[in-house]
Amino acid sequence: MDSPFATALSLIASGDAALMQIIGLSLQVTLTAVLIACVVGLPSGAALALARFPGRGVVIVAFNALMGLPPVVAGLLVYLMLSRSGPFGSLALLFTPTAMIIAQTLLILPIVVSLTRSVVEDLWAEYREQLRSLGAGRLRAVPTLLWDGRVSLLTGVLAGFGRASAEVGAVLIVGGNIAGHTRTMTTAITLETARGQLGLAVALGIILMVLTLTLNAAAWWAGQWARERLG
């Protein structure tokens, strides 16, 4: 009964305070980052899909490339911006949940922008004539196109959530993995494994897997429901 899995199940079943605190902070940071990325990325991606301006191709390539931005590089950039010698050092945000949210938003935003651009661009090509016949220009068509592509866009949002929730390097650099303050599920798994405390690490791993499976199942169900009801 002293195996890591038994200990992990015991921690989950008892609602261990440290376990719950880590899970709560992880969800707070990741969901806030996803929300910010969606508020900024969805309209920005749609605008990039419909607008025509010099250098548009360069912007598209840049966002596509940033989808693969290494987390440690994102963390380093945020660290340099928020450190005492950086331009925003006076805000004292380094090693706080806010810094972790900024780093995760930086990782998620290119995914949301790029996938939104792709979805809206395809929908505009398909429905352009119908929308124009109804008097909807490019700008006025954005809400309609975003709503019509909501199922595909949900996939992009979940991809962003998955990237953020599984990320270690960036939050470790800017958060510092401080117990009770900036310790997330991924950084705690890394630390507890290194310390040989596998019970907590396995418990957090189980929670992370269940969370990921639940969200993807919900997205699949939503997609199936939309296809059956909307055709």
Q: What is the pLDDT along the chain (231 residues), one digit of tens a residue?
A: 468 889 889 999 999 999 999 999 999 999 999 999 999 999 999 999 988 889 999 999 999 999 999 999 999 999 999 999 989 999 999 999 999 999 999 999 999 999 999 999 988 888 877 877 776 777 778 888 888 888 888 888 888 888 888 888 899 999 998 988 999 999 999 999 998 889 999 999 999 999 888 887 877 787 777 677 665
Instruction: Compute the Cα dihedral for 103, 31, 11, 166 and give only its sign.
Output: negative
Largest Cα separation within the chain, whole Å, is: 70
Q: What are the backbone dihedrals phi and psi of residue 55, each rounded to the nearest 5 degrees, phi first?
A: 85, 5
Q: Are 172 and 191 in contact (CB under 8 A)?
A: no
**Per-residue DSSP letters for 11-69?**
HHHHT-HHHHHHHHHHHHHHHHHHHHHHHHHHHHHHHHHH---TTHHHHHHHHHHHTT-
- The pLDDT, as a whole number, for residue 231 is 55
- Report the half-sphere exposure of 138 (CA within 13 A, side-chain side): 10
Q: Tell me the one-letter amino acid at 136.
A: A
- The pLDDT, as a whole number, for residue 1 is 47
Class of 4-229 in CATH: mainly alpha
Among 153, 175, 165, 141, smallest CA distance to 214 is for 165
What is d(CA 166, CA 30) in angstroms, rounded to the nearest whole number?
Answer: 10
Beta-carbon contacts of residue 157 (< 8 Å; ≥ 6 apart): 34, 38, 112
Beta-carbon contacts of residue 174 (< 8 Å; ≥ 6 apart): 75, 78, 79, 82, 94, 95, 99, 100, 102, 103
- Report the half-sphere exposure of 145 (CA within 13 A, side-chain side): 30
pTM summary value: 0.89
68 token code pair:
């693969």
Q: Are 106 and 123 in contact (CB under 8 A)?
A: no
